Amino acid sequence: MSALLEVEGLVVRYGRATVVHGISFALERGGVLALLGRNGAGKTTTLRAVMGLVPPAAGRIRPDGRDIAGLPPSRIARTGVGWVPEDRRIFRRLTVLENLEVGRQPARDRGNPWTVERLFALFPQLAERRHHRGHELSGGEQQMLAIARALRGNPELLLLDEPSEGLAPPVVRTLFEALGEARAQGLTLLLSEQNFRFARLLADRACILESGTLRFSGPMRELEERPELARAHLAV
Amino acid sequence: MGFYLVQLLTGLASASSLFLVAAGLTLVFGVSRIVNFAHGALYMLGAYLAWALVSALPHGPLGFWGGVLAAAAAVGLFGALVEVMVLRRTYRAPELFQLAATFGLALVIEDLVLMVFGPRDRLGPPAPGLGGAVRVLGEPVPFYDLFLVAAGPAVLLLLWLLATRTRFGILVRAASEDRETAAALGVDERRLFTAVYALGAALAGLGGALQLPRETIHHGMDVEIIAEAFVVTVVGGMGSIPGAFVAAVVIRVLQALGILWLPRIALFLTFLVLALVLVVRPFGLFGEREGPPRPDPRLLVPYRPLPPAGRAAVALLVLALALLPRLLDPYTLVVATDVLIFALFAAALHFAMGPGGLVSFGHAAYFGGGAYLAALLVRDLGLSMLPALAAGALGAGVLAVVFGSFTARLAGVYFAMLTLAFAQLLWAAATQFTELTGGHDGILGIWPPAWAATPESFYLFTLALAVPSLAVLRHLVFTPFGQALRGARDHPVRLLTLGLAPQRLLWVAFALSGFFSGLAGALHAFAKGSVFPDLLAIPASVDALVAVLLGGLQTLAGPIPGAALLVGIEAWTAAVPWPRLVLGGLVLAVAVAFPAGIVGGLAGLVRRLRFGREAPA
Ligand SMILES: Nc1ncnc2c1ncn2[C@@H]1O[C@H](COP(=O)(O)OP(=O)(O)OP(=O)(O)O)[C@@H](O)[C@H]1O
Ligand SMILES: [Mg+2]
C-alpha cells in the first residue's frame, strides 16, 4: 500500500511559542488515522498545517508524494484535501445548497463523484433544509453540512477536526454511518478526536499527541490493549 | 407640493451614481477588507473616459451608450491591472499599508487623468433620446434624472442576481463572510480578489460615466464623492450592497430636501446621519456584527526603552537641532519648523494607533480643531500666543473626549470611518459658518508675539515645546498606564477580568492623542499666521497616517523621521511637474517594498546585520 499522506518532522510555531514539536506520521490510502489528545495538545494545529492554514516552521507534508508545505490552502484543497473545521464554519448567510456550491470543485477523474443528490442521500436531513441559511441549522445539521461541503470537492483525503464534539448520540451515529459509507468509496480520513469511543469505532490507526509531541503511534488495536496509555493522555 | 416632489426626484437621481460608487467600495471591502481610497479616482476616471469616448464615437444612442459602457469596462480592466500589479503585493502587509497603497494610487490616478485629459473642465452631450424635461405636477424634471432614478434600482437588481444566481456571486459572499474557510475549500483567493476589484472599479467607472449628461466633468470629482461614498458604505453596513443602496437614497434625499429648509445643512446631514446610525447600530443598517479585529502579530512587537547610548544620541540630536538656526537660512528654518510641528502631530496619532491600536482616519479634526480654536481666540478675544496654544491643545483634547465617547464602542474599520466622519463634520462647519470661520478664506493675521516673530525664535520656541511633548508621549508608553493600554489593545477580555476598564483606557489615550494633535495644530496656526479649512480635511488626516506608516507603526520613534521624510518629499515634489504622481508613486513603492515602514525596515536590516540570522518577528 502506498502512503497517501506523509508528515515528517512537522514543527509549528505561533509567534515564539512552539506548539507542535517535530511530529511524523503516515497515512495509507483508504486508511483512517485518529489524532488523539487533550485540549490544547496540538491536534487542530497539525490539521491546519496540513491544510496550509498555518505555515509549518519545519518539516515536510506530502500527500501523494508531493511536498505541499508552503502552498496556499486553495491549492492544497485542489490537490484533493477536504477540510471539516473544528467549529464547522458554515457560511451563515448562505443556504445549504450555496454552502455546497462553495465546496464544489471540478471532479477529479474518479468513478463516482459526490453530486448534490448523492450527498442528500447520505444526509437526508440536509435535503429537507436545502433552502435554509447556515445560521438556521442545528449543530448536528451544521456538522453534516460541513462534511457534505468538503465531500462536494471530491477529496481523496478528508481532514476532520473533532466531528463528534458537542453532538447528541443519534447525530454522532448518523455521522459515523455517513463517514463509513464515504470510506467504502475509497476516501482516506485523518481525524482529530477527544472522544475515544468515536475514534475507536472509525479509525484503524491512532496517534496520541501531548503538548505537541507524539506519545503513541500505531494500530488502534494496540492502543485498545494498553488502557494505561489512554488513561494517561486522554479524557476517557 | 410639486416642488418638493421634484426635489425628491433630484435626490433619487443623484443617489444612483453615489450608490454605484459605494456598491463597488463595499464589494471590495467585503471580500478583501481593503478600504479603497482610490474609488473616487476610479469614478472620475470613468467620467473622463466616457467623455472622451462619447466625443470620439459617432453621435446617436449607440455612440453614447456604447461610450458609457465601454468607459465602465475600461475602468474595470484598469482596476484588474492595478490589483494584479500593485495591490496584490500589499495583502501580506498590515491592513494600514493597503490603505496607504490605495491612497497613493488615488494620487497617481489624479495626475494621470490630468496628464491625459488636460486641466480643462469637460461638458458632455445630453443623452440621446433622454434630453429635455417632463413636467411633474407642473414642475420640470430632466428626463435623464428620471432615467437615473430607475438606473439605481436596476443595477441593484442585477447585482442581486449576480450574488445569488451565479457561482461567482456565491463565492464572493462566502469569501466576504469567511475568507479562510473559503480558501480551505479550494476557492482561489487571488483570482477572486482580482475579479472583485475589477467589478468594483467598473461600478465606480459606470457611476462616473453616467454623470456625463448631468454635471461638468472636473478634477475635483473624486474628492467630492469619496467621503460620501465612505459614509454610505458605513451607514449601509460594510459589505452590504442593499445597505449601500438604502443609505445612498436616504442621504441624498435628505440633502435634497434639507437644502430647501436650511441651505447650509446639506453638507452636515451626511455626517449627522452617519453619526446617528453608528450610535444606534454600530455596524450599520444592514451590517453584521464582526468579531473583534485580530491584532496584527506584527504590531505585537514589544517596545523597547532607549539604552543609555540611545539617550545620549537623542540628547546630542536635540543639541544639534538647537544649533540649527546658526546653520540654516530662514527659509529652510521654516521648513524645519514645519517638520517639528508635523512630527508632533504624527507622534500624537501614532500614540493612538500603535500602543492604543485605535486607527483614526480623522485626526485632522484635532489638529485643525486646535488650530481654529487658537485662531478664533486670538482674533475675537485678543488672547496672546501662549494661552491660545494651551486653549487649542485643551480644546482638541476635549473634542477627542466628546468624539471618543461616540466611537468608544466601535472597532476597526467602523471606528476609522466614524473618526473620519467627525473630521468631515468639522470641515463642513469651517466651510459653512463663514461669519465665524471665514469659510474658504480662513482666518488671517494669527502671528506670534515679537519675542517669537523671527523664523529663528519661532523655530526654537517650537523645538522647546515639541521635544518635551514627544518625550512625554514616548515616556507614557513605558508607564503602567502604557502597559495597561497595550493590554486593552491586545487582550481586552483579560483586562476586564483584572478589574480594569479597557474602553476607558483607550478613551484616555485617544484624548491625550487629541491634546497633542491640538497643540501641534495651534502651533501650526502661529507658524503660518493663518488657518484654512484644509487643516480639517481628509488629506491632512491622511498625511499624518502616511507619516506614521513611513516611520513604521511598530517603531516608537518612527513618526519623527516619517514626518521629516514626508515634509521633505512634499517640499521637493511641489517643484516637480506631476507632484501627485511622484508622491503617490513613492507611497506605493513604500507600501509594496517596505511593509515595516522605512524606519522599521532599516532598523530590521541593521538588526539582522548585527545579530546575524536573528530576524525580527
Ligand atoms: N492562533 C494561535 N495563536 C497562539 N497560540 C495558539 C493559536 N492557536 C492555538 N494556539 C495554542 O496552541 C496549542 C495547541 O492548540 P490546538 O488548537 O492545536 O489544540 P487542540 O489539540 O486542537 O485542542 P482542542 O482539543 O481544544 O481543540 C494550545 O496551547 C493553544 O493555546
Ligand atoms: Mg482543536
pLDDT in tens, B313-368: 999 999 999 999 999 898 889 999 999 999 999 999 999 988 888 888 899 999 99
Mutate to test the pocket of ligand 1, among A10, A11, A14 (most ligand atoms within 8 A of CB): A14
Is A152 close to ligand 1, i.e. is its CB under 6 Å away? no
The answer to whether residue B140 scores a pLDDT higher than 50 is yes
Q: Is there a contact between B197 and B191 (Cβ–Cβ < 8 Å)?
A: no
Which DSSP letter does residue A178 get? H
Of A147-161, A217-231, B198-212, B525-539, the poorest mean pLDDT is in A217-231
State the ipTM, two decimals.
Answer: 0.93
One-letter identity of residue B7 = Q
Question: Is A94 in the B-facing interface, judged by CB distances under 8 Å?
Answer: yes
pTM of the model: 0.87
CA distance A161 to A86: 5
Question: In this predicted model, what pLDDT tens digit does every residue of B10-45 receive, in sequence order?
Answer: 999 999 999 999 999 999 998 888 889 899 999 999
**Among protein residues, the one whose CA lies closest to atom 3 of ligand 1:** A14
Ligand 2 centroid–CA B357 distance in Å is 29
CB atoms within 10 A of CB A72: 16
Q: Region B233-250: what's the mean pLDDT?
A: 93
Chain A partners of B182 at a C-beta cutoff of 8 Å?
A: 102
Taking the centre of ligand 2 as the mean of its atom positions, its distance from the CA of residue A191, in whole angstroms, is 11
| pLDDT tier, B72 (very low <50, low <70, confident <90, very high otherwise) | very high
Contacts with A77 from chain B: Cβ below 8 Å: 183-186
Instruction: Report how far residue B367's alpha carbon sits from residue B294's, in angstroms, rounded to the nearest whole number.
Output: 29
Q: What percent of chain B has pLDDT over 90?
A: 52
Mean pLDDT (chain A, rounded): 89
Apex A207 CA angle, A206 and A211, nearest 5: 150
Q: Calculate the dihedral angle through the C-alpha atoms of A217, A218, A219, A222, rounding to the nearest 10 degrees.
A: -100
Give the least confident one: A10-19, B47-56, B238-247: A10-19
Residue type, B603: A
Residue bearing the CA closest to ligand 1, atom 24: A39
Residues 6+ apart with CB under 8 A from A160: A84, A147, A179, A189, A190, A191, A192
Q: Is A83's CB within 8 Å of B181's CB?
A: yes
**DSSP 8-state secondary structure symbol assigned to residue B549:** H
Question: Which pLDDT score, from 0 to 100, does residue B287 have?
Answer: 82
Q: Which of B371, B393, B337 is nearest to B564 (CA)?
A: B337
* pLDDT-wise least confident of A118-132, A200-214, B243-257, B498-512: B498-512
Q: Which of A166-175, B182-191, B374-383, B550-559 has the weakest average pLDDT?
A: B550-559
Where is B1: in which H helix or E strand? none
Q: Is A85 in the pocket of ligand 1 (CB under 6 A)?
A: no
Q: Smallest Cα–Cα separation from B107: which of B165, B150, B44? A: B44
- The C-alpha atoms of residue B272 and residue B260 are separated, in whole angstroms, by 17
For the domain with range A3-233, which CATH number is right: 3.40.50.620, 3.40.109.10, 3.40.718.10, 3.40.50.300? 3.40.50.300
Cβ–Cβ < 8 Å for A183, A26: no
Element of type H or E holding A218: strand A213-219
Is A149 part of the contact surface with chain B (CB cutoff 8 Å)?
A: yes
Phi-psi region of A208 (alpha: psi -120 to 50; beta: other; left: phi over 0): beta
Chain B residues within 8 angstroms (CB to CB) of chain A: 167, 170-171, 173-174, 177-178, 180-189, 288, 297, 300, 617
pLDDT at residue B579, as a whole number = 83
Neighbours of B261 (CB within 10 A): 8
- Each domain of chain A, given as residue ranges in start order, spans 3-233
Q: Does A74 touch chain B (CB under 8 A)?
A: yes
The answer to whether A158 touches A213, Cβ cutoff 8 Å, is no
